[in-house]
Amino acid sequence: MKIVVLVKEVPDTYGDRRLDLETGIVDRAASDAVLDEIGERSLEVALSYADGHPDTEIVLLSMGPESAQASIRRGLAMGASSAVQVVDEALLGADLGLTSEVLAAALQHTGFDLVIAGNESTDGSGGVIPAMLAERLGVPQLTALASVEITDASVSGRRVLDDGVATVSASLPAVISITESLPDARMANIKGIMAAKKKPYEVLSLADLGVVAEREDAPRSIMIAVSERPPRGAGVKIVDEGDAGEQLAEFLVQNRLA
Amino acid sequence: MAEYRPPLTDLRFALEHVVGYPEISALPGYEHADLDTVVELLESYGEFVTKVIAPTNRIGDTEGVQYHPDGSVTVPQAFKDAYRTYVETGWGSVPMPQEFGGEGFPRTVGLAMQEMITSANMSFALGPLLTQGAIEALTAVGTEELQRRFLPKMVTGEWAGTMNLTEPQAGSDVGALTTRAVPREDGTYAITGQKIFISFGEHDLTDQIVHLVLARTPDAPEGTRGISCFVVPKFLVNEDGTLGERNGVRALSVEHKMGIHGSPTCVMSYEGATGYLLGEENRGMSIMFIMMNTARTSVGLEGVALAERAYQDALAYAKQRIQGRAPGSSEPSPIIDFPDVRRMLLTQQASIAALRRLILLHGVQVDLSTHHPDAAVRERASEVVALLTPICKSFGSDQGIELTSLALQVHGGSGYIEETGVAQHYRDARIAAIYEGTNGIQAADLVGRKLPVRDGASALEFIEQLQALDSDLAGAGEDFAAIRSQLETQLGTLKRTTQWMLRTGVSDPRAVLAGSSPYLRMWGLCVCAWLLAKSALAAASVGDESAAEQLVLARFYAQQILPQVSGLESAAVAGADDLYALDAVPVR
């Protein structure tokens, strides 16, 4: 079984995160960089399967700047077998369409039985990459799983909805995404860190994958304007002159809170 | 109480740019310990101590340890769970020798890790620290047979180790100990006597505890020259490595202490217990000195680690506690906006950064002294290690008390309430100034043993090394002018006082000892100010994002803390006359 886990380096949510107001791109220097926690949980799903199935190969796949390598290596120290990182200047600020195109090409390059991703990253919060990948690769998708069961030929799990729980399954190969309900990732230990230094780490460019970033015929998001979040204004005070209830209701409706 | 955040960014910067870690990882034998690997290792270890060890700190303090009538001692269940994970993850083996299953990382890396685990839980961290000391002694002088039998499981942490020095009548005066070791025909010794204040002397974290015990053979000379060191396991070990018969050693009680409640401090009784001689007879003190440089620095580091943890609490509290209006504010202000609170916080931040660098510098010198290919470099590094050891121990632990006290002060009345949590750090910090040689003993060591090295040349050369930063500071522009002028003045004072000590020591050792503690503090302040200045220069020259912050820390320390050196000089050179002048006055 070959499981590819999508991981991503993101700014640590512990501190303040900032956008570069000129480019609209996240200011990586402004905060500590960490492996996105939901990606770590995805890796944990793969690792716990591998615990009982020693012939499992786990490949980490990531797209990001070269500097992200230290974060991705953490995944190797936790137990993944190898890593593939797509690094290319042309990917700076890539939108979801381009990102999914690159990742799909990389997945075709690595080959896979199962792709595991988080439901959304803590920085971009797009939440659509898993679905886009399934579409591009022409395989089934099971998104937002709160539990995962993997067998030789299929994958299944529970998806928690507003009014119930759906149990879904698909045959392999497939793409799944998971939620924070799945367990925390195991911690890397010293043996893992030392072993990780000898594990394969492949760096690919867009040219290697045959993907063109600036294509006239491809729809791409274009940044039109970037502005700082406005400072919080003073709150609205409602003085009760007999109509406070009405005013409150109106306020809630206006702000789409009701 | 804030959740512990490992100071990874500062550790990395200090290793890379201040204390010269890249030079260590370039040494033969440390090729695997390159900076990137070390940083990755520290990140993972930081996560481990935060998630697994830190949550046990409060539990250790409130639950404490239990002594049972059968002589057993139990620690909180949370400690046992955390310890099991500690062994499983193999973290304890990182700085241990590779030939016994360790990862063979430099001492410097071990110190950075030790800071984090001690911040997370000092009581817990003491266990592995003592095991590490016992491992060092066994590695240095143990026979192959002893090493094979005990080291592998101690390196993994499956077995623990202890140091048994103190007896009721033999505290600072180790030479007064009376525990007897009578040779038997099979080459082992029968150990009989009582030891007190034995940290982790008995507990249920591990199946086996390997005690290193100082004792006297029947014909041994008096004093420290007649002390031998023995390995006394709680259980005898069978040929196949399994545990055999219970040995004649047991705990008689555990102490009720001011702090480190999670660390079992035991009275130990030895009644004809089987001991194996470590090294040669009557060489026990020199074996203890093998561990002394590292153990003493580790105790200084305990002060730094607790100060860091308490500072994190104080900073978080100061940001959220609203009281009154700060000058210039029309809104209710968090207390961090008040100048005096900022002074307390900045004093902590600058002092902790400085002390962290001091401890890591000691580690780098230890690594140079053991691994540098050039004998002259090793020799000089050993001298610097010897000189810095009492300074790290005393200044680090004294500052641990002062800085945790400041952190408590930031909390106001809440700080005095146990539930707030910061009081524990203050209580825990207090022991570090006492054990592993009281701070007074350290000061005596500095003036009595370390200053006389090469008739004072070793110490004076180190001061010259500190003064040599002046040219870098001169070239660094106006920003560094204030730091430069203060360093020049106070290093001059340190040099003058050192010369007085060297001059006076010959004719009036009592006068030198009388001034030894203030003198040691002068050293601590000077080396710390130098390290912060070096750090700020490095940050500016590599354009590190912390450059502006580091400049402030270095300047604040140089201008507002370092000048204490001038004030201490007077006490350092005052002599002993007044200290003894009142002896004739009867006690009323």
Alpha helices, H only, B260-374:
284-320, 339-371
Which pTM value belongs to this model?
Answer: 0.89
- Peptide bond before A173: cis, by omega within 30 degrees of 0? yes
User: Are B40 and A187 in contact (CB < 8 Å)?
Assistant: no
> How far off is chain B from A215, nearest CA to CA, in Å?
37
* pLDDT tens string B433-491: 999 999 999 999 999 999 999 999 999 999 999 999 999 999 999 999 999 999 999 99
From the list B167, B308, B436, B569, the catalytic residue is B436
In this structure, the strands spanning A57-63 and A82-86 are parallel
State the pLDDT at residue B588: 55
The overall average pLDDT reported for chain B is 96
State the pLDDT at residue B336: 97
Question: Which residues of chain A are within 8 Å of residue B88 when distances are taken between CB atoms?
Answer: 189
* Residue B254, both tokens: 């555990």
CB atoms within 10 A of CB B470: 15
Q: Distance of alpha carbon A131 from its chain centroid, rounded? A: 12
> How far off is chain B from A89, nearest CA to CA, in Å?
23
Selected for mutation to probe chain B from A69, A189, A191, A198 (highest B CB count within 10 Å) is A189
Average pLDDT over every residue of B40-49:
95
Looking at residue B169, the DSSP 8-state letter turns out to be T
> How far off is chain A from B473, nearest CA to CA, in Å?
28
Question: Which residues of chain A are within 8 Å of residue B91 when distances are taken between CB atoms?
Answer: 189-190
User: Are A74 and B51 in contact (CB < 8 Å)?
Assistant: no
> How far off is chain B from A243, nearest CA to CA, in Å?
31
User: Are A197 and B93 in contact (CB < 8 Å)?
Assistant: no
A33 part of contact set with chain B, CB < 8 Å: no
Average pLDDT over every residue of B49-64:
97
Residue B306 pLDDT > 90: yes
Residue A114 pLDDT > 60: yes
Distances (CA, A) of A114 to A77, A105, A234: 21, 15, 50
Q: Which of B258-262, B286-290, B446-450 has the lowest mean pLDDT?
A: B286-290
Question: Which residues of chain B are within 8 Å of residue A194 when distances are taken between CB atoms?
Answer: 32, 37, 103
Average pLDDT over every residue of B337-342:
97
List beta partners, residue B194.
B269
Q: Which of B32, B36, B51 sits opposite A70 (nearest CB)?
A: B36
> How far off is chain B from A168, nearest CA to CA, in Å?
34
Using an 8 Å Cβ cutoff, are A65 and A57 in contact?
A: no
Question: Which residues of chain B are within 8 Å of residue A73 when distances are taken between CB atoms?
Answer: 40
CB atoms within 10 A of CB A139: 18
Q: How far apart are CA A244 and CA B142, in angstroms?
A: 84
Q: How far apart are CA A141 and CA A168, in angstroms?
A: 10
* Residue B349, both tokens: 């931040």
Task: Annotate chain A with DSSP letters as a single string.
Answer: -EEEEE--EEE-TTS---B-TTT-SB-GGGS-EEE-HHHHHHHHHHHHHHHH-TT-EEEEEEES-GGGHHHHHHHHHHT-SEEEEE--GGGTT--HHHHHHHHHHHHHHH--SEEEEESS-SSS----HHHHHHHHHT--EEEEESEEEE-SSEEEEEEEETTEEEEEEEESSEEEEE-TTSPPPPPP-HHHHHHHTTS-EEEE-HHHHT--SS-TTS---------PPPPPPPPPP---SS-HHHHHHHHHHHTT--
Q: Which of A14, A187, A193 sits opposite B37 (nearest CB)?
A: A193
* pLDDT tens string B114-123: 999 999 999 9
How many CB pairs below 8 A link A and B?
Answer: 43
Question: Which residues of chain B are within 8 Å of residue A191 when distances are taken between CB atoms?
Answer: 90
Question: Which residues of chain A are within 8 Å of residue B43 when distances are taken between CB atoms?
Answer: 74
Nearest CA in chain A to B47: A187
Selected for mutation to probe chain A from B53, B89, B545 (highest A CB count within 10 Å) is B89
- CA nearest to B233, candidates B124, B284, B183, B160: B160
What is the percentage of chain B residues whose pLDDT exceeds 90? 96
State the pLDDT at residue A19: 79
> How far off is chain A from B9, nearest CA to CA, in Å?
9
State the pLDDT at residue A227: 84
**For A85, how many CA atoms within 13 A lie in the half-sphere containing its CB?**
21
Q: How far apart are CA A217 and CA B469, in angstroms?
A: 61
State the pLDDT at residue B584: 63
A221 part of contact set with chain B, CB < 8 Å: no
State the pLDDT at residue A28: 74
Using an 8 Å Cβ cutoff, are B217 and B36 in contact?
A: no
Nearest CA in chain A to B87: A189
Residue B587 pLDDT > 70: no
Q: With the C-alpha atoms ordered A134, A140, A145, A147, is the resulting torsion angle positive or negative?
A: negative
What is the percentage of chain B residues whose pLDDT exceeds 70? 99
- CA nearest to B254, candidates B243, B241, B264: B264
- Letter string b/e over residues B397-417, b meaning 16 or more CB atoms within 10 A of that residue's CB: bbbbbbbbbbbbbbbeeebee
Distances (CA, A) of A36 to A7, A61, B39, B165, B248: 7, 13, 19, 49, 54
Let me know if B436 is a catalytic residue. Answer: yes
Taking each helix axis from N to C end, the angle separating B122-141 and B284-320, rounded to the nearest 10 degrees, works out to 160
The overall average pLDDT reported for chain A is 90
- CA nearest to B45, candidates A184, A32, A189: A189
H or E stretch including B236?
strand B235-237
State the pLDDT at residue B454: 97
User: Are B93 and A77 in contact (CB < 8 Å)?
Assistant: no
Distances (CA, A) of B199 to A84, A224, B575: 49, 66, 37
Residue A92 pLDDT > 90: no
Residue A230 pLDDT > 90: no
User: Are A194 and B32 in contact (CB < 8 Å)?
Assistant: yes
Taking each helix axis from N to C end, the angle separating B122-141 and B77-89, rounded to the nearest 10 degrees, works out to 50
Question: Which residues of chain B are within 8 Å of residue A29 when distances are taken between CB atoms?
Answer: 545
CB atoms within 10 A of CB B6: 24
State the pLDDT at residue A145: 96
- CA nearest to A36, candidates A104, A108, A125, A107: A125
* pLDDT tens string A128-185: 999 999 999 999 999 999 999 999 999 999 999 999 999 999 999 999 999 999 999 9
Average pLDDT over every residue of B317-336:
95
ipTM above 0.85, yes or no: no
A26 part of contact set with chain B, CB < 8 Å: no
Q: Which of B5, B47, B93 sits opposite A187 (nearest CB)?
A: B47
Residue B585 pLDDT > 70: no
User: Are A74 and B36 in contact (CB < 8 Å)?
Assistant: no
Distances (CA, A) of B580 to A57, B172, B570, B587: 77, 21, 17, 14
> How far off is chain A from B209, nearest CA to CA, in Å?
24
- CA nearest to B15, candidates B105, B89, B96: B105
User: Are B44 and A77 in contact (CB < 8 Å)?
Assistant: yes
A197 part of contact set with chain B, CB < 8 Å: yes
Looking at residue B461, the DSSP 8-state letter turns out to be H
State the pLDDT at residue B586: 61
Selected for mutation to probe chain B from A16, A18, A190 (highest B CB count within 10 Å) is A190
Contacts 24+ apart (CB under 8 A), B454-462: B454/B383, B455/B502, B456/B498, B456/B499, B456/B502, B458/B383, B458/B384, B458/B386, B458/B387, B459/B387, B459/B498, B460/B495, B460/B498, B460/B499, B462/B384, B462/B387
Residue with tokens 């099979």: B186
- For residue B328, the SS3 value is coil
- CA nearest to B202, candidates B57, B70, B60, B74: B74
Q: How far apart are CA A179 and CA A183, in angstroms?
A: 10
Q: Which of A187, A194, A197 sits opposite B48 (nearest CB)?
A: A187
Q: Could you tell me which residues come within 8 angstroms of residue B439 by beta carbon, excluding any fewer than 6 positions away?
A: B393, B394, B397, B398, B433, B517, B520
Selected for mutation to probe chain B from A193, A197, A199 (highest B CB count within 10 Å) is A193
* pLDDT tens string B554-566: 999 999 999 999 9
In this structure, the strands spanning A201-204 and A82-86 are parallel
Average pLDDT over every residue of A122-128:
84
Q: Which of A14, A188, A197 sits opposite B37 (nearest CB)?
A: A197
Using an 8 Å Cβ cutoff, are B388 and B358 in contact?
A: yes
User: Are B9 and A32 in contact (CB < 8 Å)?
Assistant: yes
